[in-house]
Structure 1
Amino acid sequence: MNRVLAADIADLNRLVEIDSEVIDNSSRREIIKRAIENGQCLIAKEEEEITGFLIHDTSFFECAFISLVIVSPSKRRRGFASLLIEYMVRSSATEKIFSSTNRSNTGMQKVFHSNGFVESGMVENLDDGDPEVIYFKAKPFFSDC
């Protein structure tokens, strides 16, 4: 059974391990730790195994912003990124949700599009020759009526 939970500090080493599989170093350890401590990190689990994580905050013009989505390379293409994003969008404290990825990251662009995000602009000069594409999604309105 796949599920999403708030990350706990006990998960830190596993999250850093997954992140290191992707970026080949542990340079984001403090970022991940701070996100966990601030309640801004979600984890995806398959049974009891952590398969990926998402970091978010509301520092982007007071709107929710997904700053990082990481899935273990051995667990990709199995819906874990979408599971994390869907959960975050449903539980968002703000009506607008933003995120971004490099123009070269076509895999993440597909994930955003398949989860109902639309392109909302571009930022040049963050990574030389690889602009950052901003994505947006409005939080769905659910009614009990």
Structure 2
Amino acid sequence: MEIRKALVNDYESIVFIDSQVIGSRKRENKIHNSIKENRCIVCEINKSIGGFLIFHKFFFGHLFIDLIIVSPRMRRLGIARNLMEYIEKIGEKKVFSSTNQSNSLMQNVFYTLGYIESGTIENLDEGDPEIVFVKVIH
């Protein structure tokens, strides 16, 4: 398992994984821009992309994990955990992210990695509040 910055050559594989999970290619511009801006990392297993993570620093100047997607056929291998641990090592004092209240699997990943709840945002997805998480890096 290798975690590395996404390359332009990874674009189609990343968009394919994303479209498998959400059922469309509507985020392909976001993915393309994040690769161009060096804000996308991938997890490669046996020369195949197993998942990716997109981050930015627009959340009050802090690093924010914007998107973590793992290929449905490669789940439960520690890909999300490895992507998050990689991003935690880039030298920021705090790392933020969020997930819907209905996404208990992702909440468990956050709790397992030492993230704590930092607040809730209502009205993004009707009837499914967004829970914001933070990890203070020591």
Same fold by TM-score greater than 0.5 = yes
Return the offset for 1:137: 0.2
Name the SS of the counterpart of 2:49 in structure 1. Answer: strand
Q: In structure 2, what is the equivalent of residue 126 of structure 1?
A: 124
Name the SS of the counterpart of 1:59 in structure 2. Answer: strand
Name the SS of the counterpart of 1:130 in structure 2. Answer: coil
String of CA shifts for 1:85-131, please: whole Å, max 9, x gaps. Answer: 00001114x21110000000001001111111111100000001000
Distance 1:10 1:139 in 2: 32
Q: In structure 2, what is the equivalent of residue 53 of structure 1?
A: 52
Return the offset for 1:47: 2.1
TM-score by length of 1: 0.93
Distance 1:55 1:116 in 2: 20
Report runs of 4+ in structure 1 exceeding 4 Å deviation.
Answer: none
Name the SS of the counterpart of 2:107 in structure 1. Answer: helix
Q: Does 1:100 align with 2:98?
A: yes
TM-score by length of 2: 0.98
1:116 to 114, 117, 137: 114
Structure 2, gaps ≥5 residues long: none
Return the offset for 1:139: 1.7
Distance 1:3 1:120 in 2: 30
Q: Does 1:139 align with 2:137?
A: yes
Distance 2:75 2:116 in 1: 22
Percent identity between the two aligned chains: 42
Q: In structure 2, what is the equivalent of residue 44 of structure 1?
A: 43
String of CA shifts for 1:61-86, please: whole Å, max 9, x gaps. Answer: 00000000000001011100000000
Structure 1, gaps ≥5 residues long: 141-145
RMSD: 0.7
Distance 1:26 1:98 in 2: 26
Distance 2:89 2:79 in 1: 15
Return the offset for 1:50: 0.6
Q: In structure 2, what is the equivalent of residue 76 of structure 1?
A: 75
